[in-house]
């Protein structure tokens, strides 16, 4: 029975995740986030944070999105390791690896033939929000600005969603140099949906499990 409890079945602790709970949370969060990125990419849209920069490199230079997304996140692991701990850093590294891999292979298992950019912005933003929220609640993130947002919220009490939104808008402003104004407009809409979802739903005083 102790082994079953340790793995996560019939977990009696309301404030601590078991290894199995972390595995399912990180995998499902990464999967949903990758799906959100795929929806945005299917409409030619971008998002913010390091994913947005990876999209810019992909659209402008043809660099593989998954590879660019993974490499861009590497410098942020120092901040994560120093300020948020080894556990958060390892789980974030795993989440980024899973998301990068799934983003690359999703086009081989299903394809979106047509989607309006407004619907892609709404759906993609919400899917990303759900995925990132699941990762946050298991002490992980998709790296980059997500790491900075978690640090700012825990250190200074500034909502992680608001931190990410401010930086996302700066990243999307750079999109004017590589795409058209309508694409930027719908991309900003998706970023607002994503970050308002996180701002409303990610509060440390409401969810305290570790």
Residue 46 buriedness (CB in 10 A; 0-12 / 13-18 / 19+): buried
Write out the chain's pLDDT in tens, 210 residues: 455 555 555 555 556 778 888 899 999 999 999 999 899 989 988 777 777 788 788 888 888 877 888 888 787 777 778 777 888 888 988 998 898 889 888 888 888 889 999 999 999 999 999 998 999 888 888 777 767 777 777 778 877 767 777 877 787 787 888 778 898 899 889 888 987 888 888 766 665 545
- Contact present, 124 and 52 (Cβ < 8 Å): no
The reply to whether 114 falls in a domain is yes
- 139 belongs to a structural domain: yes
- Does 17 fall in a domain? no
Residue 85: left if φ>0, alpha if ψ -120 to 50, beta else—which one?
A: left
6 part of a folded domain: no
Q: Which domain holds residue 53?
A: 33-201
Q: What is the pTM of this model?
A: 0.78
User: Token digits for 156?
Assistant: 């200074």
Q: Does a structural domain hold residue 185? A: yes
Domain contains 155: yes
Whether 207 is covered by a domain: the verdict is no
Cβ atoms < 10 Å from Cβ of 28: 15
In a domain, 1, yes or no: no
Counted residue by residue, the chain has a size of 210
Q: Count of domains in the chain?
A: 1
- Tell me the DSSP string of 1-48: -HHHHHHTTT---SS---HHHHHHHHHHHHHHHHHHHHHHHHTT---S
pLDDT value, residue 15: 63
Separation of alpha carbons 45 and 118, rounded Å: 10
């Amino acid at each position: 029975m102790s082994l079953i409890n340790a793995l996560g079945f019939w977990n009696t602790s309301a404030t601590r995740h078991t290894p199995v709970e972390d595995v399912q949370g990180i995998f499902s969060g990464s999967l949903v986030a990758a799906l959100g990125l795929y929806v945005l990419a299917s409409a030619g849209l971008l998002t913010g944070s390091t994913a947005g920069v990876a999209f810019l490199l992909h659209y402008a230079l043809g660099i593989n999105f998954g590879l660019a997304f993974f490499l861009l996140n590497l410098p942020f692991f120092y901040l994560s390791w120093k300020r948020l701990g080894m556990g958060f850093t390892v789980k974030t590294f795993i989440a980024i690896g899973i998301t990068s891999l799934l983003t690359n292979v999703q086009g081989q298992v299903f394809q979106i033939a047509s989607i309006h950019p407004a619907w892609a912005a709404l759906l993609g933003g919400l899917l990303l929000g759900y995925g990132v929220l699941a990762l946050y609640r298991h002490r992980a993130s998709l790296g980059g600005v997500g790491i900075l947002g978690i640090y700012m919220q825990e250190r200074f009490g500034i909502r992680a969603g608001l931190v990410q939104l401010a930086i996302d808008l700066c990243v999307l402003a750079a999109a004017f140099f590589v795409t058209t104004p309508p694409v930027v407009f719908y991309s900003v809409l998706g970023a607002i949906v994503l970050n308002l979802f996180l701002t409303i739903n990610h509060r440390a005083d409401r969810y305290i499990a570790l």
